[in-house]
Amino acid sequence: MSVVGLDVGSQSCYIAVARAGGIETIANEFSDRCTPSVISFGSKNRTIGVAAKNQQITHANNTVSNFKRFHGRAFNDPFIQKEKENLSYDLVPLKNGGVGIKVMYMGEEHLFSVEQITAMLLTKLKETAENSLKKPVTDCVISVLGTAFDPFLGGKNFDEKLVEHFCAEFKTKYKLDAKSKIRALLRLYQECEKLKKLMSSNSTDLPLNIECFMNDKDVSGKMNRSQFEELCAELLQKIEVPLYSLLEQTHLKVEDVSAVEIVGGATRIPAVKERIAKFFGKDISTTLNADEAVARGCALQCAILSPAFKVREFSVTDAVPFPISLIWNHDSEDTEGVHEVFSRNHAAPFSKVLTFLRRGPFELEAFYSDPQGVPYPEAKIGRFVVQNVSAQKDGEKSRVKVKVRVNTHGIFTISTASMVEKVPTEENEMSSEADMECLNQRPPENPDTDKNVQQDNSEAGTQPQVQTDAQQTSQSPPSPELTSEENKIPDADKANEKKVDQPPEAKKPKIKVVNVELPIEANLVWQLGKDLLNMYIETEGKMIMQDKLEKERNDAKNAVEEYVYEFRDKLCGPYEKFICEQDHQNFLRLLTETEDWLYEEGEDQAKQAYVDKLEELMKIGTPVKVRFQEAEERPKMFEELGQRLQHYAKIAADFRNKDEKYNHIDESEMKKVEKSVNEVMEWMNNVMNAQAKKSLDQDPVVRAQEIKTKIKELNNTCEPVVTQPKPKIESPKLERTPNGPNIDKKEEDLEDKNNFGAEPPHQNDSCGIVNSY
């Protein structure tokens, strides 16, 4: 299982993975760890990331960027209408009122939704991760909504301040309206972004120069850090607002914060750092990589969630960023009931069970409780209709239990609904159904049961009563619950008690309680319909296949081009001696014709046409290349073979001269060595003489691989013989003497004879050893 974290930004993206015991940020096919959030559409395929950004100026109308902020907004949203003025591509309304992006693709006009464009970017990031990990990527963690934030306070907003300044300056100084030509405006955006980054590390005046900006005119300007901060004073004042919001939500004071770490590209601006440091009254830390920290944090969270990775015990609790409420109509009244099911920063994933008393189907509407706190104009989440609800047989309202949930992905839904139905049973049925009834009423003991469920009882005119269990696990349908009236079963002993002076009471009917699952019709505001989603998936699959085919076609074309350039250079260099003069001239002519074909008729051909051209060239070029390679490798192989032959011939000679090193080898075995050496030596002399008679432009008599095979055969025959180990000679057996160490018996006798008549050693002296081993 792969563990991947994605930081998807408005201008760029980063990918982090967990492997080899750590977390690292991976690079794309351009060896760049930053992938621009840009998609470009062409006549044959799409380009995404770095390649797309490189085409942003030349293919401005069909290159899409800065589209992340369009999510969750209608086309008539004021923000969309304002952004539309500064875009190089066209925005149009979709049938559902959303934002559509119109581009020319494959020679035809296409209309894509923001979700489709985002899916294209995610597909590219997925492909990059798979190429790095060498395995499929099916799960990941993506960074999306923040605890406290301002969606209009980021690096792009600082760029826009610079662009507005220089647009006004160039209009006054050069009489040029940069906003009238989108290519000029895009070039200005790129240069302003570079200038902004330079001012983060330089406080002096910095130049901005653009050649042939508009109407073949060059433009120039300058800016320093103090001017930039004065220009962005309005943005800098907005920094403290999310910081105050953060402290309010966490119920902390500035004095309670012990350390502050800042991340994000815009935090490199010195004025931003100063504002944050001043707010907290302490120095801020920048130990993390400002650009990559979020992606690495996502990868860590993915590793925590993954069962395939074991990480340190980190306590990470996701939260519901905005409070969510439900509204419904009472069964017999026109008044509405409202209940906040999830407060702000409520733990997630989490489930709650609400109980309603109803005689028929009813509707619930989910919405964000604080519309002003949501960064999007639409506060509604969706409408849910609980169907197949009916009154009890006695006409009473049915108890309907509805489970609402915010899942691991932070998505709100009404997951299940069930109706408690009371069914009367006959006396003779109770004995046979008693055991089963007990089993049905027993709470399930499933390890996957959602213990993180709150029981809310909601009825017209009453406030819900909530019981909380703080444990968090996965969800499951609510277990059957009975009210106190439903749980009353006549006691057997009390039923048998009868008063003498009263007549016997009539038997009460037995009641069986059944939970009936109810269907739910969900209509979410921004959710894609199933048919539309399937169409999007099919369209994306076709585009992926087209991109793949076009890549293969371009690769085949590039292979022909590379082959032409490579052989043309080498035919006048190292390959010149390995082709005859006539073939040399003919091949050069063919290479020139192929080059002309590539830039004329062959500019836009099918893949197979380039494959056939390459095969035609290789029929002539491959033999020349082989002759050159053989001429390089063959002498080395012959030298190695000669050395092995000399080595084994010398061993054979030493054996004939009775060298002690080889006297343990059987003579018949050594004859095999001599025979093999003589045969191989004769073969080598013959092929060397034959090769000497050949010119370099002719195919070789023998290949380097054949010589290598001969070396292997020679070693397999001779090496086991000449490396035979000598037989081991057993050492003399040692015996322990009463007064000393182990010595050989014969040497002990010899010692006694040499020391005959000598005085015995002193008692305190150690026994001497005559011969030490």
pLDDT digits (tens, 9 = 90+) for 183-204: 999 999 999 999 999 999 999 9
484 has pLDDT over 90: no
Q: Give the three-state DSSP class for 127.
A: helix
For residue 433, give every residue at least 6 positions away whose Cβ sits within 8 Å of its Cβ, in sequence order, or none: 425, 512
Long-range Cβ pairs for the range 704-712 (8 Å, 24+): 704/629, 704/630, 704/633, 704/634, 704/636, 704/637, 707/634, 707/637, 707/638, 707/640, 707/641, 708/637, 710/641, 710/680, 710/683, 710/684, 711/637, 711/640, 711/641, 711/644
The pLDDT value recorded for residue 531 is 93
d(CA 85, CA 163): 14
For residue 419, give every residue at least 6 positions away whose Cβ sits within 8 Å of its Cβ, in sequence order, or none: 388, 389, 390, 398, 399, 400, 401, 515, 516, 518
The pLDDT value recorded for residue 177 is 94
pLDDT digits (tens, 9 = 90+) for 236-273: 999 999 999 999 988 999 999 999 999 988 999 999 99
The pLDDT value recorded for residue 444 is 41
What value does the mean pLDDT take over residues 33-55? 96
The pLDDT value recorded for residue 421 is 85
491 has pLDDT over 90: no
426 falls in which pLDDT band (50, 70, 90)? low
Could you give the residue ranges of the DSSP H alpha helices within 221-371? Answer: 225-231, 233-237, 240-250, 270-280, 293-305
471 has pLDDT over 60: no
β-pair type (35-36, 12-19): antiparallel
45 falls in which pLDDT band (50, 70, 90)? very high
pLDDT digits (tens, 9 = 90+) for 569-613: 999 999 999 999 999 999 999 999 999 999 999 999 999 999 999
172 has pLDDT over 50: yes
List the one residue out of 426, 474, 483, 424 whose CA is nearest residue 448. 474
What does the DSSP assignment read for 507-548?
PPPEEEEEEEE--EEEEESSPPPHHHHHHHHHHHHHHHHHHH
pLDDT digits (tens, 9 = 90+) for 511-565: 788 899 999 999 998 888 889 999 999 999 999 999 999 999 999 999 999 999 9
Give percent of the chain above pLDDT 90.
69
The pLDDT value recorded for residue 78 is 92
Least confident of 99-103, 126-130, 301-305, 753-757: 753-757
442 has pLDDT over 70: no
465 falls in which pLDDT band (50, 70, 90)? very low
pLDDT digits (tens, 9 = 90+) for 409-419: 889 999 999 99
What value does the mean pLDDT take over residues 47-57? 95
The pLDDT value recorded for residue 628 is 96
The pLDDT value recorded for residue 505 is 59
Give percent of the chain above pLDDT 70.
83
Distance set, CA 481 to CA 240, 455, 741 (Å): 50, 11, 90
Distance set, CA 345 to CA 2, 247, 338, 503 (Å): 30, 13, 20, 63
Contact 664, 727 (CB under 8 A): yes
Per residue, what are the HEC states of 264-305? Answer: CHHHHCHHHHHHHHHHHCCCCECCCCCCCHHHHHHHHHHHHH
Contact 349, 454 (CB under 8 A): no
Least confident of 80-84, 293-297, 738-742: 738-742
Average pLDDT, the chain: 84
424 falls in which pLDDT band (50, 70, 90)? confident
- For the CA atoms of 158, 164, 169, 171, the dihedral, rounded to the nearest 10 degrees, stands at 160
